[in-house]
């Protein structure tokens, strides 16, 4: 018999976080999180996302053994301010038993109905900075630290249980050699002169921090029209600064400013930590931190995490300045492959940015919906 339990204790939360470690043991494509980091992100006293979200952490048991997990999420800003009556679910992991999936997802639907919500969508996180989507293609490619991995049966379970496609995302990659250095150097110089713009590059994290708030303001202006957009609070921005900015190579963050020093474009790239996280096995000590720091310095693959352009400057070629600057940085670093995080399939504007580089779509993922 399958039972579903809402968990709250520290011991149970650790079991929740560690369940995928047993589920994906020896899987060469799954990238584990750092356990303590994951626990902190689920702690309402540490993560300000809970100021605008409610969550229930659920574990499924069969014969006394943990066989699945999921988080039921209600983003209160989304429901109350945007009037989007959505019940979210994320961090969904199950054994290959559709009855386990059914038990967990039935509980999600029950919570949604109790809160008078209209439909369920998932897997998604708390907001736009979280992971999203069930992998539906590309199972033989290694994951990243900012995406979920899953085997093919997740899709099958969801569809058999009546869930239907809501949004689809693509992930692509291209060799750095596909970027025409002469073309983007010339184009970057031309665009910079035409609109009286200037690039800002960094040598230290300390130099970046004064710009981060403005970067998130621009992030909101860039992405607010997307169907997935939920605002990010100032407290969440501060949390992001502490958690991520200090760990990203400062030379991998680029800003473009206008003549009045207003930000018109930004890009954040990070080294690929996938192999390092696999070696760390969920722990920073004794050797996990060494593997991560080594990847930060030596990884030849990079992930384009965020890129944004002010609406007034979109379709004006401003990204040429950004790529001109990355050409300089990546050349020195010996970067080989550039990897894109999940992008909405219908986000035409973002796809145009990468068109010149002949990207290969190597993964697809999808969120699923069911009406309540």
Q: Where are the domains of the chain?
A: 2-173, 174-362
pLDDT band for position 219 (cuts 50, 70, 90):
confident
What φ, ψ does residue 182 adopt, rounded to 5°? -65, -45
Distances from the Cα of 130 to the Cα of 119, 146, 224, 299, angstroms: 20, 7, 16, 23
State residue 225's pLDDT score.
Answer: 72
* Residues of the chain above pLDDT 90, percent: 81
Is the fold of 2-173 the same as that of 174-362? yes
Overall average pLDDT of the 114-135 stretch: 94
| Mean pLDDT taken over the chain | 93
HSE of 288 in the Cβ direction (CA atoms, 13 Å)? Answer: 15
* Residues of the chain above pLDDT 70, percent: 99
State residue 222's pLDDT score.
Answer: 80
pLDDT tens by residue, 273-304: 999 999 999 999 999 999 999 999 999 999 99
Name beta bridge partners: 251.
none
What residues have CB less than 8 Å from 372, skipping those under 6 apart? 87, 109, 112, 113, 117, 118, 119, 120
Q: Which helix (H) or strand (E) holds 183?
A: helix 181-195
State residue 293's pLDDT score.
Answer: 93
State residue 235's pLDDT score.
Answer: 85
Is the pLDDT reported for residue 226 higher than 70?
Answer: no
* Alpha helix stretches (DSSP H) within 202-347: 205-223, 234-243, 274-280, 288-298, 319-333
What the block records as the tokens of 284 is: 């920073």
What CATH number does the domain located at 174-362 have?
3.40.630.30
State residue 347's pLDDT score.
Answer: 84
Taking a C-beta distance cutoff of 8 angstroms, is the pair 219, 237 a contact? no
Is the pLDDT reported for residue 329 higher than 80?
Answer: yes
Is the pLDDT reported for residue 227 higher than 70?
Answer: no
Distances from the Cα of 338 to the Cα of 36, 269, 352, angstroms: 29, 9, 16
State residue 232's pLDDT score.
Answer: 76
The architecture of the domain spanning 2-173 is 3-Layer(aba) Sandwich (3.40)
Rounded to the nearest angstrom, the gap between the alpha carbon of residue 58 and the centroid of all alpha carbons in its chain is: 22
The region of weakest confidence among 21-25, 83-87, 210-214 is: 210-214
- What is the 3-state secondary structure of 304-330? EEEEEECHHHCCCCCHHHHHHHHHHHH
Overall average pLDDT of the 320-330 stretch: 95
Cα separation, 250 vs 269, whole angstroms: 9
Cα separation, 5 vs 333, whole angstroms: 49
For 96-130, b/e burial (b = at least 16 CB within 10 A) is: ebebbbbbbbebbbebbeeeebeebbbbbbbbbbb
Cα separation, 40 vs 341, whole angstroms: 23
pLDDT band for position 18 (cuts 50, 70, 90):
very high
HSE of 243 in the Cβ direction (CA atoms, 13 Å)? Answer: 16
Strand duo 301-309 + 337-340: pairing: parallel
Cα separation, 157 vs 102, whole angstroms: 8
pLDDT tens by residue, 110-119: 999 999 999 9
Pick the more confident residue, 242 or 148.
148
pLDDT band for position 183 (cuts 50, 70, 90):
very high
Is the pLDDT reported for residue 315 higher than 90?
Answer: no
Taking a C-beta distance cutoff of 8 angstroms, is the pair 47, 233 a contact? no
Collapsing DSSP to helix, strand or coil, 202 comes out as coil
């Amino acid at each position: 018999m399958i039972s579903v339990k809402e968990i709250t204790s520290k011991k149970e939360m650790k079991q929740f976080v560690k369940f995928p470690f047993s589920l994906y043991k020896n899987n060469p494509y799954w990238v584990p999180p750092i356990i303590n980091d994951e626990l902190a992100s689920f702690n309402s006293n540490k993560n300000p996302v809970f100021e605008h979200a409610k969550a229930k952490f659920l574990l499924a048991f069969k014969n006394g053994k943990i066989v699945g997990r999921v988080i039921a999420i209600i983003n209160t800003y989304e429901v109350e301010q945007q009037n989007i009556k959505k019940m979210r679910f994320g961090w969904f992991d199950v054994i290959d038993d559709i009855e386990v999936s059914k038990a967990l997802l039935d509980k999600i639907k029950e919570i949604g109905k109790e809160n008078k919500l209209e439909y369920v969508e998932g897997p998604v996180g708390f907001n736009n900075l979280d992971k999203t989507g069930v992998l539906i293609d590309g199972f033989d490619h290694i994951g990243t630290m900012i995406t979920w991995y899953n085997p093919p049966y997740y899709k099958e379970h969801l569809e058999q249980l009546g869930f239907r496609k809501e949004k689809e995302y693509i992930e692509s990659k291209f060799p750095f050699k596909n970027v025409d250095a002469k073309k983007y150097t010339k184009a970057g110089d031309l665009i910079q002169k035409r609109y009286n713009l200037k690039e800002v590059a960094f040598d230290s994290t300390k130099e970046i921090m004064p710009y981060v708030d403005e970067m998130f303001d621009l992030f909101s202006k860039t992405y607010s029209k997307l169907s997935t957009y939920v605002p990010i609070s100032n407290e969440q921005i501060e949390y992001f600064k502490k958690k991520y900015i200090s760990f990203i190579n400062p030379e991998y963050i680029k800003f473009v400013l206008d003549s009045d020093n207003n930000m018109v474009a930004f890009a954040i790239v990070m080294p690929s930590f996938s192999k390092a996280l696999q070696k760390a096995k969920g722990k920073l000590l004794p050797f996990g931190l060494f593997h991560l720091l080594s990847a930060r310095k030596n990884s030849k693959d990079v992930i384009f995490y965020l890129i944004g352009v002010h609406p007034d400057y979109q379709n004006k070629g401003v990204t040429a300045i950004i790529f001109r600057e990355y050409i300089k940085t990546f050349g020195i670093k010996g970067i080989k492959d550039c990897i894109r995080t999940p992008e909405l399939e219908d986000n035409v504007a973002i796809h145009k940015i990468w068109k010149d580089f002949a990207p290969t779509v190597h993964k697809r993922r999808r969120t699923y919906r069911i009406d309540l």
